[in-house]
Amino acid sequence: MYQRSSGLLCHVTSLPGAHGVGDLGKCAFEFVDLLARADQHLWQVLPLGPAGAGDSPYDSRSSFAGNPLMISISRLVESGLLRVSDVPETAGFPDDRVEFKRVERWKGRRLRRAFDNFQSGKAPSLQSSYEEFETAAGEWLDDFALYQALREKHDGSPWYTWPPELRRPGTDVVSRARSTLTSEIAFHKFVQFLFQLQWNELKPYANARGISIMGDIPIYVALDSADVWANQDQFVLDDAGQPTVQAGVPPDLFTSDGQLWGNPVYDWDRMAQDDYRWWERRIRRVFELTDIVRIDHFRGFAAGWQVPAGEKTARNGTWVTGPGRDFFDRLEERLGRLPIVVEDLGVITPDVEALRDGLGYPGMKVLQFAFGDGPDNPYLPHNIIPNSMVYTGTHDNETSAGWFSGLPTPEQRHVQKYLRANRKSIHLDMIRAAWSSVAVLACTPVQDLLGLGNEARMNVPGVATRNWGWRLQDLERLRRRSHFLQSITELYGRNHAPLEFREEQR
């Protein structure tokens, strides 16, 4: 399915911009232009939904909605929804990190003003587009907007702490709330319309320049989300809406207690009874927004680690069999062959490998995991198989420069010997090794292309705060690296689109 290709990993919120967070405005289009000039054909982003606990895009309030922080306020001025005077030239935000709460308040006020202006008749040319969006997105938009309105009415508290009569969307009390919260519901629908409107300009712009956008589906969803509130029968919950078991991973060499994620787990038997329709809607939605999708924690489809509710660590869990091949076969019967890459990192058992290989999906290879176990390490470039996507590192890793600087001296020497690298250019030599491998797809975070240290790290797994906020201060340094990237892309034959665009993308 895939052709030999390459690209960069950079979440939208990490782009430069004047309003405290990367958005779908001018810099996003300039980033696409930069990719095109460097002969890259892949832009990988993190999940695009509204971030939840810890500002994590992997703990979203919805698997279907877009993140309001990504809406470009400047483009709302261009469309007539805001006046120039509504948007100060400088908002006083730092340009190297996102201060999420401050940005949320600042941007929220302007989104409210844009909504009021729209309601009063400003930008009338958008009215028909809004009505079309409201109808087309209704199967998820209605529940999400109501959930958001109710959540705000209850001061941002999770749905499972609301009065019992509001905890299930089908009650008469919820129906009455839907009729009394019409303005708030309309506001949240309007915000989702703005996200969709701006995304629908950026994505075709990228596709027209031969660039595929690679999205991301976390296997699990947040308990405090519209997904769970509106679809409780799809999850293993008690009558009060609380999980009886929670997702995680068992202890390993890196975490003696394992990782306790706290996400509710799916009732796979119940989902199979209706042909995984909720998942079908979820996957359709992510492919509306992106061209290729990475499935996070793929091994959970073979078996997931489930921990009883109330446990403080993930030690006392058990492996529970997932839906396996049946899940993907049923989805592909209705959706066709899907361009998917699977995250298969960590301790992977033969059943997971068999599922991945039987489906033919590329797995992931991370070069930072390649050194220290001898010449048979499967992440070493000489052992990588063609049906793979190779990374120098991911959003969960240290930067390559930070990783290398933290290695013991003997390991540093081994890495330098293998890559024929010097200390100052280790990040570029890692990229060269990824691009020269036989893996069909290759990707590097922008932090590695720039040679940044761990001050630029995106996420530290297991740490709840101060993640996800790193930002590019400008695109100029990336532009100066574009010649290097273009050169090795041509040298190693990666100057192809990763796949042929579907007909609706042309």
Active site residues: 296, 343, 396
The bridge status of strand 259-264 relative to strand 245-249 is: antiparallel
- From CA 97, how far away is CA 99, in angstroms rounded? 6
State how far the alpha carbon of 262 is from the alpha carbons of 49, 167, 216, 221, 312, in Å. 19, 19, 20, 10, 10
The tokens for 18 are 């004047």
CB 66 within 8 A of CB 192: yes
The tokens for 138 are 């209704």
The tokens for 419 are 């890559």
Q: Which residues, other chains included, contact 350 with Cβ-Cβ below 8 Å and sequence gap of 6+? A: none
In single-letter form, the type of residue at position 89 comes to E
- From CA 67, how far away is CA 367, in angstroms rounded? 31
The bridge status of strand 42-44 relative to strand 212-217 is: parallel
DSSP assigned state of 257: T
Task: Of 378, 384, 287, 381, give the one whose Cα is nearest residue 331.
Answer: 287
